[in-house]
């Protein structure tokens, strides 16, 4: 179990980081919308606490899309004028305010879905826009190692504290904007705010696949083997992710 906690999330962070190098910030942000951090954490929570706890955590993770977009909005607007440290503080403050608000609400799937859709709608409408061209980027070995270590630390913290935190806070913390924070700070430091805006706008498109993943978990965990439930949910997430990319490309072609 400890080996899984130390390797699952860092591996997926490695994949997304390499995608940023290969295909640029838009694709990296889109891929970051997949449950690459929360998915493994939710799986570990199910293994340790059972499917009922896992389904509750999945509902909370779904609602936490709202908190993630609060982080993105605060960071994106702040980074256009201020240092990345200020943007990070503002983004995290927005996330914690949204997270505390979410945990005070009933943990029903319908409320969770409503919060998620509201977050996506706000981000799509109010995130700043940029016409800057995508840049070819590189990632230092130190940055890559720090991202992977951060992922392992978050996984260990959430799973170790899950008993005292309960399903709702465990689910919300599984969607802590670890990847968004790391990618945003490192990208602003190296490539400037326009790159960050492209990255964060790419993340909005990926939220639909994460929502599909959480909804499938809520529906399948109570009556299925955990591995089957996560397999079905992962397939649904990838399918929605592929479809969202195709639809976005079709809209861009129509606009052109």
The whole-number mean pLDDT for each consecutive block of 10 residues of the chain, a chain of 256 residues, reads 68 74 67 79 91 95 96 96 95 96 91 95 91 61 79 80 86 87 83 87 86 95 91 92 80 71
Nearest alpha-carbon partner for 116 in 184, 58, 76, 37:
58
User: How much is the pLDDT for 100?
Assistant: 95
Q: Which residues contact 109 (CB under 8 A, 6 or more apart)?
A: 59, 62, 215, 218
CA atoms of 162 and 140, how far apart (whole Å): 33
Polymer length in residues for the chain: 256
User: How much is the pLDDT for 13?
Assistant: 75
Cβ proximity of 40 and 178 under 8 Å? no
Query: Per-domain residue ranges for the chain?
Result: 2-255
The end-to-end CA distance of the chain, in Å, is 50
User: What is the greatest pairwise CA distance in the chain?
Assistant: 53
Give pTM, 2 decimals.
0.86
Q: Other C-beta atoms within 10 Å of 206: how many?
A: 24
CA atoms of 123 and 142, how far apart (whole Å): 31
Cβ proximity of 191 and 135 under 8 Å? yes
Concatenating the DSSP letter of every residue in 114-171 gives HHHHHHHHHHHHHS----PPP------HHHHHHHHHHHHHHHHHHHHHHHHHHHHHHH
Angle at 121 between CA 120 and CA 124, to 5 degrees: 80
User: How much is the pLDDT for 129?
Assistant: 85
Quote the tokens at residue 193.
């705010």
Nearest alpha-carbon partner for 203 in 14, 62, 25, 52:
25
């Amino acid at each position: 179990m400890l080996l899984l906690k130390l390797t699952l999330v860092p591996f997926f962070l490695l994949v997304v980081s390499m995608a940023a190098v290969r295909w640029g910030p838009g694709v990296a942000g889109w891929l970051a919308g997949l449950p690459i951090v929360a998915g493994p954490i939710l799986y570990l929570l199910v293994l340790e606490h059972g499917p009922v706890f896992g389904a509750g955590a999945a509902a909370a993770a779904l609602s936490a899309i709202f908190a993630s977009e609060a982080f993105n909005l605060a960071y994106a607007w702040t980074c256009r004028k201020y240092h990345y440290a200020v943007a990070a503080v503002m983004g995290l403050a927005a996330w914690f305010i949204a997270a505390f608000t979410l945990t005070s609400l009933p943990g029903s799937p319908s409320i969770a879905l409503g919060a998620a859709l509201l977050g996506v709608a706000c981000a799509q409408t109010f995130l700043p826009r940029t016409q800057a061209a995508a840049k070819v980027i590189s990632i230092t070995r130190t940055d890559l190692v720090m991202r992977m270590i951060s992922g392992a630390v978050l996984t260990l913290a959430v799973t170790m504290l899950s008993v005292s935190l309960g399903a709702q806070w465990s689910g919300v913390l599984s969607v802590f904007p670890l990847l968004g924070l790391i990618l945003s700070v490192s990208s602003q430091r190296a490539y400037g705010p326009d790159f960050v805006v492209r990255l964060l706008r790419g993340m909005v498109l990926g939220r639909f696949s994460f929502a599909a993943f959480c909804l499938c978990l809520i529906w399948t965990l109570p009556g299925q083997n955990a591995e089957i439930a996560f397999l079905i949910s992962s397939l649904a997430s990838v399918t929605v992710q592929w479809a969202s990319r195709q639809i976005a490309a079709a809209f861009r072609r129509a606009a052109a």
